[in-house]
Amino acid sequence: MSVNREDIEYTLELAKLSVEEDKVNGFIDDINKILEYVDDLKELDTENVEVLINPYEYENVFREDDIEASLSIKEVFLNSENRFDNYFVVPRVIE
């Protein structure tokens, strides 16, 4: 399996990402090298193997639904320069 320019453009679109034009081919080469390397996994028969997401399998974790303080509005906006009153300012989304 190898990726071409079209695949990469589709992937970038999904990831809301872009790369400089002069670097695109380099990225395609790198990703193909990695995909070629990971293709080794196909040697393994995993037909009847269950997936394992967390290495240490947890039972359902419950806790009391206690009310706790969360960050203050002041703290929440500490890292934003794009504020109007208690709102984050973004470009118009709806025409």
Partner 1 sequence: MDITNLKGYEIAKKIKDKEIKAIEVTEAFLERTKKIDNVLGGYLNIYEENAREEAKKIDAKNEKNEDIGILGGVPIAIKDNIAVKDMKMTCASKILENYVSPYDATSTTLLKNSGAIIIGKCNMDEFAMGSSNENSAFKLAKNPYDIDSVPGGSSGGSAVVVSSRQVPISLGSDTGGSVRQPAAYTGTYGLKPTYGAVSRYGLTSFGSTLDQIGIFSRDIKDMAMTFNAISKYDKHDFTSKNKKNEDYLLNIDNSIKGKKIGVPVEYFGEGLDSETRKAIENSIEILKSLGAEICECSLSLSKYALATYYILSSAEASSNLARFDGIRYGYRDLSEDNIKDLYTSSRMNGFGDEVKRRIMLGTYVLSKGYYDEYYKKGLKVRRLIRDEFLKKFEEFDLILSPTTPKSAFKIGAKAGDVLSMYLEDIYTVPVNIAGIPAISIPCGFSNGKPVGLQLMSNFFNESLLFNAANEFDKIYKFNEKSSELYGGEFL
Q: Distance between CA 60 and CA 52 in Å, rounded? A: 15
Enter the tokens of residue 57: 């399998």
CB of 32 to partner 1, least distance (A): 10
Backbone phi, then psi, for 88, in 5-degree steps? -85, 135
Q: Distance between CA 9 and CA 16 in Å, rounded? A: 10
Out of 56, 73, 85, 86, which residue is the one contacting partner 1 (CB under 8 A)?
56
14 near partner 1, judged by CB under 8 A: yes
Q: Which residues bind partner 1 (CB under 8 A)?
A: 1, 3, 7-8, 10-12, 14-20, 23, 27, 30-31, 33-35, 37-42, 44, 46, 49-56, 58, 61, 63, 71, 75-76, 78-82, 88, 90-93
